[in-house]
């Protein structure tokens, strides 16, 4: 999960998988190789799952460039596959980077869900759930930008085959009205090219 909301100055990256994630220093090095500063790293174990959390900065501030956020995501997943090759069977990225392909195919089993809700008078919350794949974050950000909507912050979460992302968005300093929300939902559904279901909401 990439969290842009919890810390005012840093981007938080959190991983939860298995009982270990290789050496903490190796994961920190992979992030530093991207030109990032890891200001804090913590590890906590909850039952059989280890949660590793990194606070990272670039040029003294949180990471806001969508291309760099996607590189962080792919670097972390690559590192996960290195230390936990068995995770390849449970990740959509396993088909691209891993030893074994996922047990289910993302195109067949996962539909896209897009929801826009009010999040106060000046912004809206955009929820997206769709099949994970390389470049997905950049694709979503581009679609939002093409509709002239501003992304104020985001939480990027990858759970196995599924990407579950939240974006705080606004239009000219205000929340999205119903017409603009519907335009954004339709654009995302179309360009993400996943089957719709009756559960899709707006």
Query: Which tens digit of pLDDT belongs to each residue from 62-88?
Result: 998 988 998 888 888 887 777 777 777
Average pLDDT over residues 110-126: 91
Tell me the average pLDDT of the chain. Answer: 80
Q: Is 155 part of a structural domain of the chain? A: yes
Domain containing 38 equals 2-97
pLDDT at res. 76: 82
Taking residue 81's Cβ as centre, other Cβ atoms within 10 Å add up to 20
d(CA 112, CA 129): 6
Q: Is 92 part of a structural domain of the chain? A: yes
CATH of the domain at 12: 3.30.70.260
Average pLDDT over residues 51-55: 82
Position 94 pLDDT exceeds 60: no
Average pLDDT over residues 114-132: 93
d(CA 176, CA 152): 13
| Alpha-carbon radius of gyration of the chain | 17
- Higher-pLDDT residue of 90, 194: 90
pLDDT at res. 27: 74
Query: Which tens digit of pLDDT belongs to each residue from 15-47?
Result: 776 555 455 667 778 888 899 998 887 777 666
pLDDT at res. 99: 52
Q: Is 201 part of a structural domain of the chain? A: no
Alpha helices in the chain (DSSP H): 24-32, 66-83, 94-97, 106-109, 136-146, 178-192
pLDDT at res. 195: 42
Average pLDDT over residues 129-154: 88
Of 66, 97, 128, the last residue of a domain is 97
Q: Is 11 part of a structural domain of the chain? A: yes
The answer to whether residues 76 and 162 touch, using CB atoms and an 8 Å cutoff, is no
Of 71, 97, 123, the last residue of a domain is 97
């Amino acid at each position: 999960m990439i969290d842009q909301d919890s810390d005012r100055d840093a981007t938080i990256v959190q991983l939860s998988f298995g009982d270990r994630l290789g050496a903490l220093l190796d994961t920190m090095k992979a992030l530093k190789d991207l030109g990032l500063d890891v200001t804090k790293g913590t590890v906590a174990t909850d039952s059989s799952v280890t949660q590793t959390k990194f606070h990272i900065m670039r040029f003294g501030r949180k990471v806001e460039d969508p291309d760099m956020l996607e590189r962080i995501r792919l670097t972390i997943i690559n590192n996960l596959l290195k230390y936990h090759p068995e995770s390849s069977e449970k990740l959509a990225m396993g088909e691209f980077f891993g030893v074994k392909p996922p047990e289910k195919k993302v195109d067949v089993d996962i539909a896209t869900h897009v929801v826009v809700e009010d999040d106060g008078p000046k912004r809206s919350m955009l929820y997206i759930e769709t099949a994970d794949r390389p470049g997905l974050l950049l694709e979503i950000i581009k679609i939002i930008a093409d509709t002239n909507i501003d992304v104020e912050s985001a939480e990027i979460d990858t759970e196995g085959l599924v990407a579950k992302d939240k974006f705080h968005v606004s239009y000219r300093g205000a929340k999205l009205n119903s017409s603009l929300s519907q335009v954004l939902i339709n654009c995302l559904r179309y360009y993400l090219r996943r089957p719709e279901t009756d559960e899709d909401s707006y």
